[in-house]
Amino acid sequence: MKRAIIIEKEKIEIQDAPIPEPGYGQVLVRVKAVGICTMEQRYYNGGVKDYPFHGGHEISGEVVQWGEGVSQNLHKGQKIVVASLTRCGECYFCRRGLDHLCENADETHEKGALWGPGGLAEYMLVRGYEVFPISEQLDVTHATLAEPLACVTRSIEKGNLQLGDIAIVQGAGVMGLLHIKLAKLQGAIVVLSEPDWVRREKGLNAGADYVLNPLEEDLETFVKGLTEGRGAEACFFTAGGNKAVEEGIRSLVKCGTMVIYGSIRPATPIGIIPNDIHYDEIVITGAIKTTKDSFQKSARMLGEKLIDVSDLVTETYSLENIDVAFQRAQEMDTYRVVVLFNEAE
């Protein structure tokens, strides 16, 4: 088989490797498509230097074979998506139902050794619990969005949205657009805060009810003008930096929830007034990664067409053109760029 390894900044090596054999509890997956997430982009552009790195965690493919100990009723050729994260089931967090924080899912490895989720390959071995069957009718490129959608599912659930609530979404990249789509599915009225006019238009097409440019309009004033001075029930931060987080908190109604979904680099303190949290009972929380539960929901929503992600797959490339794929993935005019394996481009 062939696999793509990032060996240094802006350098990907296509390597030959043996097709692995599944052991106990393992499934051999024939990879069909992999989305290039911002995580992989950081290794490619040198933002994180830990090479050689075998990326690829937004994965769709099909079942080839499996070893003993796999309890799922799988069949050869079955369409699946992969949740490529360790869930030991035995640590403190797994036993509390917080398997996305599994203590044994760390990324420690010997310096200089090949490491990473491993999806950028024609075949990969995964654990049985990482395999989620999907609809046979779902496009393999759309299926790669199962992982980010599962992450956003947790975020939306933490926002505690009710029918008719006002939900602010900050940023209209892939994650922001998925927040819009899921918030609408929850029956919320969505306000998108995004400085780029092209992405504001994209947000409107994704279902946002109102859009504003936070560089020209004050978010708090805008939202409170819609709500008789009360504010929004939830705000989901996906991009924009510290200032956006502070603006989001100020724009909440009493007992509203601020969900910090996106990371901020470099991480620096934000300014909040503790008494605002105390008197208004504002909830500030975070959302990261997926759980088995959110991944199952994501796979089902995509398969049943409860959510359409076709507008988020901007371009597809073959393995031979993976360098171009990574370069394009970092451009503002793309959303999700997908690499195809075992498929015609």
What are the Cα distances from residue 322, in Å, to 139, 145, 328? Answer: 20, 19, 10
Is residue 194 within 8 Å of 172, Cβ to Cβ?
Answer: yes
Spatial distance between the Cα atoms of 81 and 57, rounded to a whole number of angstroms? 10
192: tokens are 């998108």
Average pLDDT, the chain: 96
Q: Among the listed ranges 45-49, 165-169, 172-176, which one has the minimum average pLDDT value?
A: 45-49
Task: Say if residue 26's pLDDT is above 70.
Answer: yes
Query: Per CATH, which fold does 2-145+309-340 belong to?
Result: Quinone Oxidoreductase; Chain A, domain 1 (3.90.180)
Per-residue model confidence (pLDDT) at position 86: 85
Q: What is the mean pLDDT of residues 111-120?
A: 94
Quote the pLDDT of residue 75.
96
Q: Which two tokens stand for residue 247?
A: 């603006």
- Give the phi and the psi of residue 252 in degrees, each rounded to 5: -90, 150
List the domain boundaries for the chain: 2-145+309-340, 152-286
> What does the alpha-carbon distance between residue 289 and residue 152 come to, in Å, rounded to a whole number?
9
Measured CA angle at 10 (ends 6, 16), to 5 deg = 35
For residue 255, pLDDT over 70 is answered with: yes
CA distances from 212 to 77, 188, 191, 207, 250 (A): 46, 17, 8, 14, 16
Position 343 pLDDT exceeds 80 = no
- Cα(253)–Cα(90) distance, integer angstroms: 39
3-state secondary structure 209-265: CEEECCCCCCHHHHHHHHCCCCCEEEEEECCCHHHHHHHHHHCEEEEEEEEECCCCC
**What share of the chain in percent tops pLDDT 70?**
99
Query: Per the confidence metrics, is the pTM higher than 0.75?
Result: yes
Which of the four pLDDT bands, split at 50, 70 and 90, describes residue 327? very high
At 345 the pLDDT is 45
CATH number, domain 152-286, options 2.40.260.10, 3.40.50.720, 2.60.40.10, 3.20.20.80: 3.40.50.720
Helix residue spans in the chain (DSSP H): 38-44, 92-95, 140-143, 146-158, 174-185, 197-206, 219-226, 241-250, 274-280, 292-303, 322-329
User: Does the pLDDT of residue 344 top 60, yes or no?
Assistant: no
Two tokens, residue 63:
């079942």
